[in-house]
Amino acid sequence: MPLTVKGPQKRSTRALRTLLIGLLPVLLGMIILYLQAERALLQSSQQTAEEAIRQFDLMLDNSDIAARVLLPLVGEPCDETRQLALRDQVTRRPFVRSTNLVWRNDNYCSSLLGRFSAALDPRDYVDGRLWLMNGNPITPDTALLIYRLSQGERSALATIDGYHLTNALRLISRYADLKLQVGNSWLSADGKVHGLPVPSAPVAHQELDSARYPYRVSAGFPEGDVWLYMKAQYPPLFSLLLFFGILSGFAGHWWQKRSSSPSHELQRALGAAEFIPYFQPVVRGDTEQWAGLEVLMRWKHPKEGLVRPDLFIPFAEHSGLIVPMTRSLMQQTAQLLAPNASSFSDNFHIGINITASHCHDLQLLDDCRDFLAQFPAGKVVLVLELTERELVEPTAMTHKLFEELHKLGVMIAIDDFGTGHSSLAYLRQFNVDYLKIDQSFVAMIGIDALSRHILDSVIELSAKLDLGIVAEGVETLEQRDYLAGKGVDFLQGYLFGRPMAGDEFLTELARH
């Protein structure tokens, strides 16, 4: 139906909207999964950092034990016995690679070199305790972590091999990027010692200080790891999201179709009371006195203005809405006309168009009863017009309906007569009261001999069957004269009056 309040919705707009509705749950789901993945990675780097602290503390604990054992030896000569004691700690303590004795900042005895002399600067040590070095003359370019335990002028050193440190950095987390920072130096998992600043990881960066030794570790993940994590962990959830996306896309498509469907639009218009009655006078063939009217539906559309019935009645019939629409039309007609019934001639005919959908049950009977009850008894005759192009099946229900309608005094007219195939038997079966000759035959008066011949036969037939006859579409004096001459009971057409709104019709009626 070309008529919608919103205007016709383009196919591409609808498709785009369907796409967006389908994408919405997928996007929302992806955002939630992304945040969830970020949280999982943050937790993972927190755990990694904690584990690293445990490992490095353990290494330093071993260094501390070695240094504690050696500290009482400081100041004694670096002889065979002391050197043995130094080497003993190296072999006994895991992770410890070498040990030294330092007296008054003179590093004078080593497990590796025996007696020697090198100056020690306590400022190299963070808190005087830890120094992360990038190798020494014996093993250049190999990280070393020196632990210093001092007491007055004495200090003992225990050195942890960089190999253990980098190994720990690599093994504790297979995926996270882990770094060990001691003062102004930091060690990466590739075994290299760097100066400040420590670069922070782009994803889930975490830093943790040891509670017992002056160092910290930082953990995090490289750029893009959230997506990698999602790809590894969430494939079943992706499928679920896709499923919901498709589902909501379908739902959106259905909803749009529904809200722009003709029946939805008609339903809206019915609720908004946009269907109103127009009235066209029906006059007597002999005197041209206004003897009745036909109620014609109009749609007072908020955008399109007044819409002709043939543009929407077929949709109303198809959707079954024609029944409540006709009911509303009858109620409005009674409300408008009943207060003015005194100005009607007696037996004023009021024609209402009905369709086959009205004949499926007996509801129409109540509608007609309610309609007639609003007029003074015997003042009006209700005529139901049923088009010949879609006549109803003769079933038990339709027989009962038509019988009851007749008992109520309601009359039946076959509309557009001559355009369909109703048989004589049919006319008798339904006890029809009027035939309305289709306007196409009237239009041919004086033009086409065959049509005039059909017209004459219909008029004769109706006389034989004792049926009233109404000629529609009378527009010229010639047509009027011809029909009146043939004794046609009632005439309807622009010559006598166009379909009019209620007030206008009543004013015109008063003039006649």
Residues at the contact surface with Ca ion, assessed by CB under 5 A: 353, 385, 415-416, 472
Q: Which is nearer to ligand C2E, 64 or 388 (CB)?
A: 388
Cβ proximity to ligand C2E: between 322 and 337 the closer is: 322
Total of residues contacting ligand C2E (CB under 6 A): 25
Which one of 50-58, 244-252, 304-312, 480-488 is the stretch in contact with ligand C2E (CB under 6 A)?
304-312
Nearest one of 236, 216, 226, 215 to 175, comparing CA atoms:
226
Residues 262-291 binding ligand C2E (CB under 6 A) are 280
Footprint of ligand C2E on residues 306-335 (CB under 6 A)? 308-310, 313, 322, 326, 329
491 touches 483 (CB < 8 A): yes
One of 78, 297, 337, 380 touching ligand C2E (CB under 6 A)? 297
Q: Does 499 bind ligand C2E (CB under 6 A)?
A: yes
Query: Do the Cβ atoms of 349 and 292 come closer than 8 Å?
Result: yes
Which CB sits closer to ligand C2E, 147 or 278?
A: 278
Nearer to ligand C2E, 52 or 386 (CB): 386
Per rule CB under 6 A, is residue 353 in the interface with ligand C2E? yes
Cross-strand partners of 118: 107
Of 86-94, 123-131, 398-406, 468-476, which part binds ligand C2E (CB under 6 A)? 468-476
Min. distance of Cβ 360 from Ca ion in angstroms? 20
Which run of H or E residues covers position 310? none
Q: Which is nearer to ligand C2E, 22 or 499 (CB)?
A: 499
Q: Which of 148, 416, 418, 467 binds ligand C2E (CB under 6 A)?
A: 416
Least spacing, CB of residue 358 vs ligand C2E, in Å:
8
Nearer to ligand C2E, 98 or 355 (CB): 355
Binds ligand C2E by CB under 6 A, chosen from 146, 296, 364, 455: 296
N-terminal to C-terminal alpha carbon distance within the chain: 40
Q: State which residue has the least CB distance to Ca ion.
A: 385
What residue type is assigned to position 231 of the chain?
A: K
Q: Quick one: which of 475, 476, 484, 506 contacts ligand C2E (CB under 6 A)?
A: 475
What string marks each residue from 354 to 373 as x (binds ligand C2E by CB under 6 A) or -?
A: -x------------------
Instruction: Report the partner that residue 493 touches, choosing among ligand C2E, Ca ion, none (CB closer than 5 to 8 A by kind).
Output: ligand C2E
Handedness of CA 367, 371, 377, 383 (dihedral sign): negative
**Rounded to an integer, what is the distance from CA 450 to the centroid of its chain?**
61
Taking the least distance from each CB to ligand C2E, the nearer of 248 and 280 is: 280
All residues at 6 or more sequence positions from 65 whose CB lies less than 8 Å from its CB, including other chains: 93
CB 492, min distance to Ca ion, A: 9
Residue 421-460 contact track with ligand C2E, rule CB under 6 A, x = bound: ------------------x---------------------
* CA 137/CA 112 separation, integer angstroms: 12
Strand order in the sheet with 114-119: 114-119, 106-110, 96-103, 154-161, 140-151, 130-135
Chain centre to alpha carbon of residue 100: 74
Which of Ca ion, ligand C2E, none has residue 155 at its interface (CB below 5 to 8 Å by kind)?
A: none
Neighbours of 345 (CB within 10 A): 14
Tokens coding 401: 């309906």
* CA nearest neighbour of 146 among 82, 85, 96, 218: 96
**309: number of Cβ within 10 Å:** 16
In Å, how far are 41, 293, 472 from 492, measured between CA atoms? 84, 9, 5
Region at 382 (left for phi over 0; alpha for psi -120 to 50; beta for the rest)? beta
Which position among 473, 482, 483, 491 is part of the footprint of ligand C2E (CB under 6 A)? 473
Element (H, E) at 65: helix 11-70
Q: Among residue numbers 83 through 112, which ones bind ligand C2E (CB under 6 A)?
A: none
The SS3 call for residue 118 is strand
- Say how far apart CA 7 and CA 157 lie, in whole Å: 87
Nearest to ligand C2E of 106, 475 (CB atom): 475
CA 302 to chain centre: 27
Long-range contacts of 105-110 (CB under 8 A, 24+ apart): 107/157, 108/78, 109/78, 109/82, 109/83, 110/86
Among ligand C2E, Ca ion, none, what binds residue 355 when CB lies within 5 to 8 Å by partner kind?
ligand C2E
Minimum Å gap between C-beta 273 and ligand C2E is 15
Phi, psi of 213 (to 5 degrees): -130, 150
Task: Please give the residue ranges that form the binding site for ligand C2E (CB under 6 A).
Answer: 280, 296-297, 308-310, 313, 322, 326, 329, 353, 355, 385, 387, 415-416, 439, 472-475, 492-494, 499
